Amino acid sequence: MVKVFAIIRPIVRLLMKFYGLSPQIIETEPGTKIKVWMPSKLKTETKPNIVFLHGFGADGIFNWLSQVMALSSTYAVYVPDLLFFGESITDKPGRSTAFQAEVIAAALKKAGVKKCTVVGLSYGASIGFKMAELCPELVEFVVASDTVIEFTESLSRVAAEKHGFSSLQEFLLPTTVEGLMAFLTVCNHGPVSMPAFVAKDFLKEFYNNRKERAELADAWVVPDNEVKPISLSQKVHLVWGDDDKIFTSQTAEDTKRQLGGDTTLVYIKDGGHVVQQEKANEYNVELNKILASLHTKSKDA
C-alpha cells in the first residue's frame, strides 16, 4: 500500500519551516507531553499570539494548514495537538474538556505564551471555551466555529442518529473506508471523493489511540441534567458554516444566546462543519477581519 502521508508529512514540515514554525514537544508534567507547532521566540515578541485548537479528525497542523499560511506573517501562531491526537500523550486518567484545557494551557505557558486568542473548531472550540473559563489570565479572546459550549446527551444522540450512526463513537471513530467517507460526507457541504488507498492510509495515520479517543468522546458528552451556564469575561466571535449538518444554524443561534453579551455570529456560505478547510479562503477573510478588530482595539485600550 502506498503510504501517502509518509510522503506528505516531510513536505508539510518544510512548508511550515518556510512560514517560521517548527514542532516542539513540551512536557507539562512527568508523563504528559504536548506537541506544539510554534514560531521561534525571536519572531513572537511583537506579534499577538494565536492558538489553533483542532477538531476530532486528524491533528493540529492538518486541520489548520491554510490558516497558518494565511496568518503567520502577522501573528505568532501556535498549533498544538490535543491529547491522544498526533504526538500528544499522557499517562494521567483525565479525559474531560477541562483536563484538555488545563494541559494545553500549561504547555502554552511553558512555551512562553502570556496572552493569546484561541481559535477553535468543533471539539477544539469546546476546549477553547473551557480554557477561557479556567484561564482568563491567558485567554484574551475566543473565535469558535461549528461547536457547542456543552455537548449534551440529547444533542449528541440526535447528531449521531440523524446521520445513521448508532453512537457518537461510531461517527467520530470510523474503522473502515466506508465509515470514513460517511464521516467526511457529513462534515462537508459539497461532495467528498478520496481514493480507497488514500482513505486506508488516512485511517492508519490519524486514527490511532482509539481506546483513549473513545474515552475523550464519552467525556465530551455531558448529561442533560448536569449542564451548567457559562459566563466568560472574554469577547467571543462565532464563525459558522451555514450548512453544518452536525451543529446546525439553530445550534449557532443557541450558542450565541447562551454566551450572551456582545458575542457575534457570522456564517460562511456553503460551508460545512469543517468550514476552515472546505471554505478556507472565505474563512480566512472573516478570521483576519475579526483578529484585526480585536487586536486593534486591544492596542488602543
pLDDT attached to residue 99: 98
Query: pLDDT class for 42, splitting at 50, 70, 90?
Result: low
Mean pLDDT value of segment 137-162:
95
pLDDT attached to residue 295: 83
Residue 43: pLDDT over 60: no
pLDDT attached to residue 45: 66
pLDDT attached to residue 219: 97
Domain that holds residue 160: 4-300
Round the average pLDDT of the chain to a whole number and report it. Answer: 94
Residue 10: pLDDT over 70: yes
* Percentage of the residues of the chain whose pLDDT score is greater than 90: 90
Rounded to 5 degrees, φ, ψ at 264 are -110, 160
Q: 15-37: per-residue pLDDT in tens?
A: 999 999 999 999 999 999 999 99
CA distances from residue 300 to 134, 200, 297 in whole angstroms, order as listed? 26, 51, 5
- Tell me the CATH number at 12: 3.40.50.1820
pLDDT attached to residue 229: 86
Mean pLDDT value of segment 125-143:
98
pLDDT attached to residue 46: 81
pLDDT attached to residue 298: 55
Mean pLDDT value of segment 43-59:
88
Query: pLDDT class for 205, splitting at 50, 70, 90?
Result: very high
Tell me if 102 sits within 8 A of 32, measured CB to CB.
Answer: no
- Find cell 506537541 and name the residue: 35
pLDDT attached to residue 259: 95
Tell me if 5 sits within 8 A of 65, measured CB to CB.
Answer: no
Query: pLDDT class for 40, splitting at 50, 70, 90?
Result: confident
Residue 174: pLDDT over 60: yes
Q: What is the dihedral of CA 266, 128, 68, 168, to 10 degrees?
A: -80
Residue 106: pLDDT over 90: yes
DSSP letter string over the chain?
---HHHHHHHHHHHHHHHTTEEEEEEEEETTEEEEEEEE-GGGTTTS-EEEEE--SSS-HHHHHHHHHHHHTTTSEEEEEPPTTSTT-EESS---SHHHHHHHHHHHHHHTT--SEEEEEETHHHHHHHHHHHH-TTTEEEEEEES--SSEEHHHHHHHHHHTT-SSHHHHHS--SHHHHHHHHHHH-SS-----HHHHHHHHHHH---HHHHHHHHHHHEE-GGG------SSEEEEEEETT-SSS-HHHHHHHHHHH-TT-EEEEETT--TTHHHHTHHHHHHHHHHHHHHHHHHHHH-
Partner residues linked to 24 by β-bridges = 36
pLDDT attached to residue 32: 98
Residue 200: pLDDT over 90: yes
Mean pLDDT value of segment 66-80:
97
Cα 69 to the center of its chain, rounded Å: 17
Tell me if 179 sits within 8 A of 160, measured CB to CB.
Answer: no
Q: 84-96: per-residue pLDDT in tens?
A: 999 999 999 999 9
User: SS3 string of 223-247?
Assistant: CHHHCCCCCCCCEEEEEEECCCCCC
pTM for the structure as a whole = 0.96
Distance CA 247, CA 187 (A): 10
Q: How many domains does the chain have?
A: 1
pLDDT attached to residue 278: 97
Mean pLDDT value of segment 64-88:
97
Query: pLDDT class for 261, splitting at 50, 70, 90?
Result: confident
